[in-house]
Amino acid sequence: MSVHHDYETVIGLECHVQLQTASKLFSPARNRYGDAPNENVDVVDAGLPGVLPVPNRRAVEFAVRLGLALGCDIHLTNVFARKHYFYPDLPKGYQISQFARPICTGGSVTIETDQGEREVRLTRIHIEEDAGKTLHRPGETASFCDYNRAGTPLLEVVSEPDLFSADEAMAYYKALREVVVHLGICDGNLQEGSMRADANVSVRKKGSGALGQRTETKNLNSIRFLGQAIEAEAHRQVVELSAGGTIKAQTRLWDADKKESRVMREKEEADDYRYFPDPDLPPVVLTAADLATIESGMSELPRARRARYQDTLGLAPEAAATLCADLALAEYFEQAAAGHKNPVSVANWILNDLSRLMGERRTDDDEGGFSAATVGIPPAAIAGLVTLIDDKVISSTIAKKVFAELAADPGLRPADIVEAKGWRVQRDEGALRALIDEIVAQNPDQVAQYKAGKDKLFAFFVGQVMKRTKGQADPADVRRLLQAALS
Amino acid sequence: MSAGPYTLAAAAAALDEGATTSVALTGQCLDRIDQGNDALRAFLRVDRAAAEEAAAAADARRANGQPRGPLDGVPVAVKDNIVDVTGPTTAGSRILEGYTSPFDATVVHKLRAAGAVVVGKTNLDEFGMGSSTEHSAYGGTTNPWDKSRTPGGSSGGSAAAVAATQCYGALGTDTGGSVRQPAAFCGVAGLKPSYGRVSRFGAVAFASSLDQVGPFARDVKGCAHLLAALAGPDGRDATSSHAPVEDYAAACDQDRPLKVGVVREYQNQDGCDDDVLAAQHKAEQTLREAGATVVEVSLPHAHLAVPTYYIAATAEASSNLARYDGVRYGPRRGEEGGLESLYRKTRGELFGPEVKRRILLGTYVLSTGYYDAYYLRAQKVRTLIRRDYDQAFADVDVLLTPVAPTAAFGIGEKTDDPVKMYLSDVFTIGVSLAGVCGLSVNVAFTDAGLPLGVQLVGPAMGEASILRAGTLVEQGVNLLEKRPQGT
C-alpha cells in the first residue's frame, strides 16, 4: 500500500437534512416516516392538475436556525426555483428547490480531529422538497411509487472540499447531526433516512495544491457507510492513477452489502435541469426582526454548552460530553443544577445512579435517549439529595438508600424520606465514643495487629462502626474518634 | 321555445321577481345545448342531472326567502381546464382523457357557494394554448354568429355558450387574451381580472405567472356579479391577493370621473381591420358623450409584448406540463417498452401539435446557454412593459384599445401559420404581462354581422373602473338584445 502514502484524499460533503415539520414543505399533508404507502399524500404532493404549492414558513425558520447556529450569511429574500427531470417518483416533473439564491451561504461546522478542533467551511445551505420512492419488488415486472416522502422539507448542506480523510468526513457528519438534533429541526434518525450524504471525493499527490478530478458517491445513509465509501473510492482512485489511468467525472452509488460502489451515470451525460424561479411561489421574505425572534428561541449549541459545563460549572470533560450528547439529559441536568452549590456532584448522580435507573426503565418509545418522564424522579429531588449529603445531614451510604426510595416513589422529597426513616447522621459524640470503645474491646486481636503496623485494618474498624450505626454516623467523625481510640 | 332573458342580469332579475325559476331557466339552457352542441361543440361535458338538482335546490332557497344572491339559480358553464369533482376534466387534451379530479377548483367551489348552477364544461384549445379553439383534441367550437368562423380562443367554448344562451355566465381562463378575444369574437363581455384577484387553485396551469380565471356574460353587469363571487384571497394559492374586494356590481352603476387613454402605439398597428378601428372610435365617442375625457398615452414597449409573451409563457408551460407523464393519472402509452418508452409515447402521442410546439419552445429558452439570452431577457422586458402600464395609469383611469386586429376569422384560416395566430393577440398580451385587468365589451357588428369588441384596461386591482367604463360603452351602443340567429 506504499503508493497510498504519496496521495491525500480531498472530500466535500452534500448532506440532506430532513426537517421535522408537522406538514410538508408546500402542502398540508402530514410529514411522517413509516406510514403505509401513499397515506400522507395531498393533491399537491401527487402533482395533480391545477394544484399549487404554498410555502411552509416553519421550514424556512428551521433553515434560519441552522444558518444562525453555523455562522452563515442568511439571505432575507428567498426565491424558490424549479429543477426539472423526469422520474416516476417526482410527481410534477420538477423539484422545487433553491438555485441562484440559497437561504444561507458561508459559515462552518467545527469538527474534532487528532490535531484538535478545525472549522470546515460551508458553501451553502438551501431548502428543497424531497421526491417520493420508487419500489421495485423482486419477481414483479411493474414498479410502484410511494409518494409519502414527496414534498418533505429538506435542507441541503454543502461543504467546501475541506475534509481530508474518511475519519474527518465522519466527524463532520457527526458534528452536523449533533447540531441539527440540538436545534430541534431534525430527528437525526439515520436508519429512517433523516440524514443522507453524497460524498465528492478526489485524490491528489501530497503537496499538490490543485484538486484532482472528483467523483460523487450518492445516498450514504449511515456514518459507517460514509466512511467505508470514502475509503473505497479513494483507494480505487489511487489504484487507477498509480496504474497510469485517469479519473472520470462520475456519479457512483454505494452498495453497502458488497462494500463497493458502482457507476450510476457518467457526468458527461448530465441532465440540463433548466432551473428557473417558480412562478407559483412569490419570494419568501424575512425581516431582521424575524431573524432576531428565531435566534431568541434557539437552544444552546452542544459545543457551547459543553464549554460552559467545563469552564463555569467545573465538570470533567467526559461528564460534560456525556450530558451534552443527549439534549433531554442535558436539560434534566440544567434543571437539577440550577443555582446548586455542587454541580459536579449533581452531574455524577445523574450520570451514575439516574442513568442506571433509565437503563432499567427504558421503553420502546424512548428511542435510546434519556426521558425525564421514564425515570420519574424530578430534577429537584436529585438536587435536594446532593444538598443533604453536602450539608452532612446524611452520609453517602444513606444517600443510596434515599435514592432507592425516590425510585420507588418519585413523589417523595429526599428530606422527608430522611426524617421519616430516622436516617439523619448521628451527632451524639458520647454515644459514638462509647460504641467505639465497645468495638475496640471486642476485637483485641485486630487492635494488636493494627498497632503492630497493619494500617489496613483501620478500614475494618470504620466498617464495624458504620455497620453498628446503620450508616448514620458521619464517616469523618468516626475516623477522628477511632484514631483517638486506637492510638 | 321562448327566447327568455338574454343577459345574466336579466336572468337574475327574472329569478328575483319570480318571473321564472331556476329549473325552467336551466332546462332551457340544457335543451339549447342538446339542440345546438353538434354544430357548435361549445360543451365537452353536460351535467344535466347535477344541474337540474342544483336548480331545484336554488328554487327551494328562493321559495324559503333565502336566496344566496344574484347568482343563485343562474345557469353557468365552466371551461374544461378548471377542475371539478362532477365529471372528467380534459383541458381539451387526449392526455387527460377520462381524468376526474378529486377536488373542486376554488372558483368552482365559490360559484356553487353563490348558488350558480353548473350545466357543464366548455371546449377550449388544448391546455388553453391557442386563439381559435381549433386546437381542442375533441374538435373545435364554431362561432354562433357564423358557423364557418371560429369563436376565438382559447376559451371559445365558454364565449360561444354564453352567446348562444346555453348558459348565462361562464368561466374562462386568460393567459394572453383567452377570455377577452373570444368574448369579442362572440359578442359577449369577458373580463380578465388583475393577476392575483382570483384564485388559480384548480385551474390547470398553462403559464403560472400569467394565468387568471375570468368570467363571461352577455352583459358587463353579469361579469361583475361573477367577479364578486370569484374574487378574494385563497390559502391554497400563494399568488392570490389580499387586496380588498370591491362591490363590483355596484361599481357598474356608480358615476365616477373617467379619464380614458388611447394608446399611441396602437394607432397604426399592422394588420388591424378598419372595422376594428371604427369600433374603437365608436366606443371612444360613446365614452366622451357619457362625460369621460379621452387623451393619448404611450406604451413604448408595446411592440415587444408578443415575443416576450411567447418566451415567458412557453418557458412556464414546458415546466407546468412536465407532470403529464402517464405515471399517476390519465391514459398511458408505451409502458410495455419500459420507462423511457412510457414517457416518449404518452407525451408524443397524447399531446397535440400546438402543445408540443410550445413545450419545445419553452424547453429551448430555459436550456443552459440560452437562458440568459431568452428567458432572462424576456423577464427584463416584462419589467419594462409593466412600467409602461404603471406610467400610463399615473395619468389615466382606463385604457381603451382594440381586442383583436380583426373580427372572428374563418376556421382553418390561421392554423397553418402559428406566428400569424400569435400576432392576433397583440392587444391583449401586454395586459397579461403587466398583471393588470382588461374587459372586452361588444360595441358593434361588421356588415357581415360579426361582433366587434373593444378592450378597457385598468390598473392592478382596478376592476371597478373598467366595469364602470364598460357599462357606459354598453349602454351607449345599446346592443344587448341582439342575438345570433337560431338561439
Decide if pLDDT at A403 tops 80. Answer: yes
Same domain, A343 and A225: no
- Residue of chain B whose alpha carbon sits nearest to that of A27: B236
Contact across the interface for A43 and B103, Cβ inside 8 Å: yes
Q: Same structural domain for residues A156 and A196?
A: yes
- Which CATH number characterizes residue A435's domain? 1.10.10.410
B218: helix, coil or strand? coil
Residue bearing cell 357619457? B290
Q: Which long-range contacts (CB under 8 A, 24 or more apart) does B475-480 make?
A: B475/B290, B476/B283, B476/B286, B476/B287, B476/B289, B476/B290, B477/B282, B477/B283, B477/B286, B477/B442, B477/B443, B477/B444, B479/B187, B479/B442, B479/B443, B479/B444, B479/B445, B480/B6, B480/B7, B480/B218, B480/B219
Q: How many CB atoms lie within 10 A of CB A379?
A: 21
A52 contacts B238? CB cut-off 8 A: yes
Question: Within B377-417, where are the H helices?
Answer: 377-395
* Domain closes at, from A263, A289, A315: A289
Enzyme catalytic residues of B: 79, 154, 178
Distance (Å) from the alpha carbon of B182 to chain A's nearest alpha carbon: 23
Please tell me whether residues A73 and A90 are part of one structural domain: yes
DSSP 8-state secondary structure symbol assigned to residue B482 = -
Question: Buried (b) or exposed (e) across A331-368, using 16+ Cβ within 10 A?
Answer: ebbbebbeebebbebbbbbbbebbeebbeeebeeeeee
Q: Using CB atoms and an 8 Å cut-off, which of residues 130-189 of chain A contact chain B?
A: 145
Are residues A220 and A177 part of one domain? Answer: yes
Cis peptide before B154 (omega within 30 of 0): yes
Give me the pLDDT at residue A239, please.
Answer: 94
Mutate to test the interface with B, among A280, A281, A284, A285 (most CBs of B within 10 A): A280
Instruction: Report d(CA B330, CA B326) in Å as an integer.
Output: 6
A150 with A246, same domain: the answer is yes
Burial of B448 (0-12, 13-18, 19+ CB in 10 A): exposed
Distance CA(B218)–CA(B207), nearest Å, equals 27
Q: Which alpha helices (H) appear in A26-165, and where do they start and end?
A: 57-69
Cell readout for B228 is: 364578486
Q: Which element (helix H / strand E) includes B458?
A: strand B451-458
Top mean pLDDT of A49-53, A270-274, A389-393 is at A49-53
Whether residues A354 and A311 fall in one domain: yes
Three-class DSSP category at B107: helix
pLDDT band at A1 (very low <50, low <70, confident <90, very high): very low
Q: Do A276 and B315 touch (CB under 8 A)?
A: yes
Q: Is the same domain home to A407 and A433? A: no
Distance from CA of A86 to the nearest CA of B (A): 8
From chain B, pick out residues whose CB is under 8 angstroms from the CB of A279: 207-209, 239, 316
pLDDT, tens digit (0-9, with 9 covering 90-100), for A232-289: 999 999 999 999 999 999 999 998 888 888 998 876 556 799 999 999 999 999 999 9
Which residues share a beta bridge with A110? A119
Half-sphere exposure of residue B397, counting CA atoms within 13 Å on the CB side? 17
Contact B141, B123 (CB under 8 A): yes
> What fold characterizes domain B8-265+276-297+387-477?
Amidase signature (AS) enzymes (3.90.1300)
Residues A443, A408 within the same domain: no
Predicted confidence at residue A209, as pLDDT, reads 85
**How many other CB atoms are there within 10 angstroms of residue A251's CB atom?**
17
Determine the number of helices (DSSP H) and then strands (DSSP E) in chain B: 16, 11
Buried b / exposed e over B31-67, threshold 16 CB at 10 Å, is ebbeebbeebbbbbbbbeebbbebbbebbebbeeeeb
Residue A91 lies in a domain: yes
Query: Are A251 and A217 in the same domain?
Result: yes
Q: Is A117 helix (H, G, I), strand (E, B) or coil?
A: strand
* Selection from A150, A183, A162 nearest residue A63 by Cα: A183
Count how many domains chain A has.
Answer: 3
- pLDDT, one tens digit per residue, over A146-178 is 999 999 999 999 999 999 999 999 999 999 998
Tell me the DSSP string of A353-377: IIHHHHHHH--GGGTTS--HHHH--
pLDDT in tens, A103-141: 999 999 999 888 888 999 999 999 999 999 998 888 887
Task: Check if A82 contacts B (Cβ < 8 Å).
Answer: yes
CA distances from B173 to B129, B141, B178, B213, B249 (A): 11, 16, 6, 4, 21
State the pLDDT at residue A455: 87
Segment B14-68, tens digit of pLDDT: 999 999 999 999 999 999 999 999 999 999 999 999 999 999 999 999 999 999 9
Residues A387 and A458 in one domain: no
Q: To which H or E segment does residue B119 belong?
A: strand B117-122
Beta carbons of B447 and B193 less than 8 angstroms apart? no
> Which of A257, A289, A321 is a domain's end point?
A289
pLDDT in tens, B340-370: 999 999 999 999 999 999 999 999 999 999 9
Higher-scoring residue by pLDDT: A466, B240: B240
My answer on whether A454 and A410 are in the same domain is: no
Whether residue A233 is contained in a domain is answered as yes
Q: Do residues A104 and A66 lie in contact, with contact meaning Cβ atoms separated by under 8 Å? A: yes
Question: Is A11 among the domain residues?
Answer: yes
Cβ of B319 within 8 Å of Cβ of A43? The answer is no
Could you tell me if residue A295 is inside a domain?
A: no
ipTM: 0.96
Q: What is the average per-residue pLDDT within A468-482?
A: 84
CB pairs under 8 A between A and B: 98
| Buried/exposed code over A89-111 (b: 16+ C-beta within 10 A; e: otherwise) | bbbbbbbbbbbebbbbbbbbbbb
Distance from C-alpha of A264 to C-alpha of A233, rounded to nearest angstrom: 14
Q: In degrees rounded to 5, what are phi and psi of residue B364?
A: -60, -50
State whether A122 and A234 are in the same domain: yes
> CB distance A281–B366 less than 8 Å?
no
**Vertex B425 angle, CA B208 and B148, to 5°:** 115
Per the domain annotation, does A294 fall within a domain? no
From A375, A398, A421, the end of a domain falls on A421
Nearest CA distance, A121 vs chain B (angstrom): 29
Using 50, 70 and 90 to split pLDDT, how confident is the model at B2? low
Query: What backbone torsions phi and psi does residue B116 show, to the nearest 5 degrees?
Result: -65, 145
Distance (Å, whole) CA B349 – CA B364: 21
Picking from B319, B356, B325, B202, the residue whose alpha carbon sits closest to that of residue A94 is: B319
Question: Could you report the per-residue pLDDT of A366-382, keeping only the tens digit for each?
Answer: 766 788 888 999 999 99
Give chain A's count of helices (H) and strands (E): 17, 17
- Which pTM value belongs to this model? 0.86
Expressed as residue numbers, the domain containing A406 is 300-421
